[in-house]
Amino acid sequence: MSPIVKETFNMIEMLPDKEQELLYEMVKRFILAWDPDFTKVTPEERERMETAEKELENGEYVSEDEVWKQLGI
């Protein structure tokens, strides 16, 4: 993870949940504008994103430790 991504992540984490959701939607729109067909991600990455979106919609969350473990960091 790049330093700017780490710093951005830390700043977002300070926001209340409602603002985090708003920011998530904004970032999602930027990404869709940049890559509307998600061609810049692998099929596996896209599948993981879709799964994560469904989990968020269902109120399912993964612990921060599990995220870092899955990323191998």
Q: Where are the domains of the chain?
A: 1-40, 41-73
Count Cβ atoms within 10 A of the Cβ of residue 66 and give its class: 0-12 exposed, 13-18 middle, 19 or more buried.
exposed
For 12-43, what is each residue's pLDDT tens digit?
A: 999 999 999 999 999 999 988 988 876 787 78
Q: What is the pLDDT of residue 44?
A: 85
Mean per-residue pLDDT over the chain, rounded: 88
Q: What is the pLDDT of residue 64?
A: 86
Q: What is the pTM of this model?
A: 0.47
Q: What is the pLDDT of residue 73?
A: 81
Q: CA 59 to CA 33: how far, in whole Å? A: 26
